[in-house]
Amino acid sequence: MEYSIRGDDNTRELFLQGRLTFSDNVVFRKIVDDLKEYGGSKCVFDLSGLEFIDSAGLGMLMLLRDATVGKSFTISIRSADGQVRRMLEIAKFDALIPFED
């Protein structure tokens, strides 16, 4: 997985690309740790460039959600398609993290 970050003091957008699997857990944990310090109001995970997610990738998204509960900002998922969208729907992620479409 590769990622890039855009935004300002208020809104942060993270663009994930490639495949989100167990092998990405160290990088993803860094993203989560960095978000714990974020002081803005909104963080959007854009998954339009993500081609594949496995159960470990879903678990990492759960870590993200758990780490941001009670924080001053909201998180959401945007532009999940194909296999990634199906996995998120099967796992009922829309009940955990809002989808922006």
Looking at the structure of the chain, the number of domains it has is 1
Full residue range of the structural domain in which residue 82 is found = 2-100
Taking the C-alpha atoms of residue 6 and residue 3, their distance in angstroms, rounded to an integer, is 10
Instruction: Give the mean model confidence (pLDDT) for residues 80-89.
Output: 97
Element (H, E) at 2: strand 2-7
User: How many other C-beta atoms are found inside a 10 Å radius of the C-beta of residue 47?
Assistant: 24
Taking the C-alpha atoms of residue 101 and residue 99, their distance in angstroms, rounded to an integer, is 6
CATH of the domain at 81: 3.30.750.24
Query: pTM for the complete prediction?
Result: 0.90
Taking the C-alpha atoms of residue 34 and residue 20, their distance in angstroms, rounded to an integer, is 18
So what's the pLDDT on residue 31? 94
So what's the pLDDT on residue 27? 96
